[in-house]
Amino acid sequence: MKRILIVTGQSGSGKTSALQVLEDLGYYCIDNLPLALLPEIVEKLDHENNLEQLALGVDVRSTHADLQDFESVFEQLQKHGSVDIIFLSTKDEQIIARFSASRRPHPLTGRCQSLNECIQEEKSLLLPIQLRSTVNIDTTDKSVHDLKHTLLTKLGQSDKLIVILQSFGYKHGIPLDADYVFDVRHLPNPHWDLQLRKLSGLDQPVQQFLAKHDQVVDMYNDIYLFLQKWLPAYSKGHRHYLTVSIGCTGGQHRSVYMVDRLQKALATDWSIQILHREMKHWS
């Protein structure tokens, strides 16, 4: 077996949808098996079926002891191939809204007095797995289509570091899946120019507007030099993915421009993927 994905995260964050997407991508998917049984099941599948891609769904219904012993399970799975952990997270208020809409009980309902207590307890129980995760995805504002696009982006390769450059708007919240966050809200804002307002940082008039300001040039140089210095260290540390998020107020002009310019500069040395999180909000 060459590739194993462990898919886990908060209840209501989209684990079932993620497994369905992975199944469409050709992964053999198994969900809700006790964590302690995974090494035995994977060994049997590897021996009898010669699978190339396997996705395993894990959630908080595994016993507390199994969750605490996750490191041992992870090491046993590594004997059968490359293992990545996809951890899905969602803002608390969105999880509450999803459970209210579906009217399904939280897996920890019998152990906690309120849904909010269930959410906090689940975070604590899943922490050993989250600390080991290699792919983090914030599904707060993602549709199933958005989730599929993100999975395709983050699972593009496994043998070299993929740098994901993401633009976002602070008014829509800081992305939970970012490894680094750079704030460019202090830079001159094209939004206040009525001729530029409906354009984005990908359009030439906006790029020309921003490129003429020394502050923008200095900020770009600082971020570029920082990444050039530290990306090799992440690559040598066997990281597969690094998400660098750059935010402005609305996620349409300054952050998009910065991501676009960094992508062009870094693409000669690194595998780059682009995500403009707020594209659906662009006027």
Those residues whose C-beta lies under 8 Å from the C-beta of residue 266, and which sit 6 or more positions away, are 163, 165, 224, 227, 228, 231, 272
Q: Residues annotated in the binding site for GTP, as ranges?
A: 59-62
How many residues can be counted in the chain? 283
- How far apart are the C-alpha atoms of 129 and 222, rounded to whole Å? 34
User: Torsion-angle region of residue 129: left (phi > 0), alpha (psi -120 to 50) or beta?
Assistant: alpha
Token representation of residue 127 = 């922490």
Q: Residues annotated in the binding site for ATP, as ranges?
A: 9-16
Q: Residues annotated in the binding site, as ranges?
A: 9-16, 59-62
Token representation of residue 133 = 């995760």
| CB distance 227 to 182 below 8 Å | no
| CA distance readout (Å), 3 to 28, 39, 158, 159, 272 | 11, 14, 9, 11, 21
- How far apart are the C-alpha atoms of 283 and 279, rounded to whole Å? 9
| CB distance 166 to 260 below 8 Å | no
| CA distance readout (Å), 213 to 42, 61, 186, 251, 254 | 56, 54, 12, 19, 12
